[in-house]
Amino acid sequence: MLANYDPSLSSEVADLIKWRFHVKHLKLGHHQTVIAINGGQHATPRKGRGMEFNEVRPYQMGDDLRHIDWKISARTQKTHTKLYSEEHERPVIFIVEQSPGLLFASKGQFKTVLALNACAQLGWAALNQGDRVGGCIVGGDRQIWFQPKRQTKPFNGLLQEGTRQQHNITRPGQTRPEAWDMALERVNNLAHPASRIILIGDLFSLNDKAWRHLSELARHCAVGGLHLTDPLEQQLPVAGLLNLFDGNGEVQLDARTKQSRDAYHRYYEQNWQSLKNKFRGINAGLTALSTHEASLNQLLKAGWLRK
């Protein structure tokens, strides 16, 4: 590791591996809980072949109402639910963006760094609880598929590939929509039924072809997304003319008037609302992660990780 290494600007494999020990007391949040907290009140079918009774515990938001234990609830005067463990494998597949479009942050950590940190935190929590973990990195010069396994080697490989592609990004730019097309088509062909698919990236660049693959996946897998954002993308500060570089050239934004700042804010909100509606339409959870806050705190708050 370089002496002048800044963890907010770039990721190193050694730091991503350390998350394994920081999240050893945490578990991956239930897909139903993520839907309940972030996706509205849509019913989320549990995807699986068979269930085996595990334990009874107090009801938590997102639990399946069909599994409420009415006898214990009546006796204790508090709602309890039965927990079941699924009889089959439940692979967790990450599709993580590392593209020039994520080389940005007005404060905190770059989106590229935020993406890999979130992946590491969720992935190690999944491995610690016995799930199979794998996936691929999108947005760079290649896509390598890491078959989900319980061993740490494939996930280490995924993290190493993520840092390799991240370090190859030399300047901000645009995300290639076809990168998501290719990844989702591949996952659609390779994913085990009842897998949990987690997309981490900007996600605004998902086009119609990518959404067709994602909708197909959502029929037999649990799908969730983490949208990476920065407060500067949501609201312009009170300032003059701002010159930004988007990878193709310089873009000038007028932040002098309230009218122009409000228009800028509405544009982001419209895109964000559209993305939420699309995820909600396929019964998928969606959470925004900000560059300004530690990813672990945000994942806990949104139910993606639990104690």
Q: What is the pLDDT of residue 43?
A: 41
How sure is the predictor about 5, in pLDDT bands with cuts at 50, 70 and 90? low
100-114 residue pLDDT tens: 999 999 889 999 999
The answer to whether position 42 is within a domain reads no
Provide, rounded to the nearest whole percent, the portion of the chain with pLDDT above 90.
61
Q: Residue 70 pLDDT more than 60?
A: yes
Which of 72, 87, 102 finishes a domain?
A: 87
Which range has the worst mean pLDDT, 86-95, 212-221, 223-232? 86-95
171-182 residue pLDDT tens: 888 888 789 999
The answer to whether position 3 is within a domain reads no
Which range has the worst mean pLDDT, 32-41, 63-72, 160-169, 186-195? 32-41
CATH number at residue 156: 3.40.50.410
Q: What is the pLDDT of residue 132?
A: 95
The answer to whether position 45 is within a domain reads no
Pair (59, 178) in one structural domain: no
Which range has the worst mean pLDDT, 48-62, 123-137, 186-200, 223-237? 48-62
Q: What is the pLDDT of residue 241?
A: 79
How sure is the predictor about 55, in pLDDT bands with cuts at 50, 70 and 90? confident
For 199-207, what is the mean pLDDT? 96
For 142-156, what is the mean pLDDT? 95
Greatest mean pLDDT range, 49-53, 100-104, 248-252, 294-298: 294-298
Pair (66, 190) in one structural domain: no
SS3 of the chain: CCCCCCCCCCCCHHHHHHHHHHCCCCEECCHHHHHHHHCCCCCCCCCCCCEEEEEEEECCCCCCHHHECHHHHHHHCCCEEEEEEECCCCCEEEEEECCHHHCCCCCCCCHHHHHHHHHHHHHHHHHHCCCCEEEEEECCCCCCCEEEECCHHHHHHHHHHHHHHHHCCCCCCCCCHHHHHHHHHHHHHHCCCCCEEEEEECCCCCCHHHHHHHHHHHCCCEEEEEEEECHHHHCCCCCCEEEEECCCCEEEEECCCHHHHHHHHHHHHHHHHHHHHHHHHCCCEEEEEECCCCHHHHHHHCCCEEC
Pair (136, 215) in one structural domain: yes
The answer to whether position 123 is within a domain reads yes
The answer to whether position 35 is within a domain reads no
Q: Residue 88 pLDDT more than 60?
A: no
Q: What is the pLDDT of residue 251?
A: 72
Which domain, by its residues, includes 124? 13-30+88-306
Q: Provide the number of structural domains found in the chain.
A: 2
Which of 41, 63, 87 finishes a domain?
A: 87
Greatest mean pLDDT range, 45-49, 96-100, 258-262: 96-100
Q: Residue 291 pLDDT more than 70?
A: yes
Greater model confidence, 83 or 104? 104
Pair (150, 262) in one structural domain: yes
Supply the pTM of this predicted model: 0.82
Pair (192, 75) in one structural domain: no
Pair (110, 164) in one structural domain: yes
Pair (293, 192) in one structural domain: yes
The answer to whether position 41 is within a domain reads no
The answer to whether position 127 is within a domain reads yes
Pair (154, 276) in one structural domain: yes
The answer to whether position 155 is within a domain reads yes
Which of 87, 103, 132 finishes a domain?
A: 87
For 54-68, what is the mean pLDDT? 76
Q: Residue 192 pLDDT more than 50?
A: yes
Pair (97, 60) in one structural domain: no
Pair (280, 160) in one structural domain: yes
Pair (118, 82) in one structural domain: no
Pair (57, 157) in one structural domain: no
243-274 residue pLDDT tens: 766 556 677 777 888 888 898 899 999 999 99
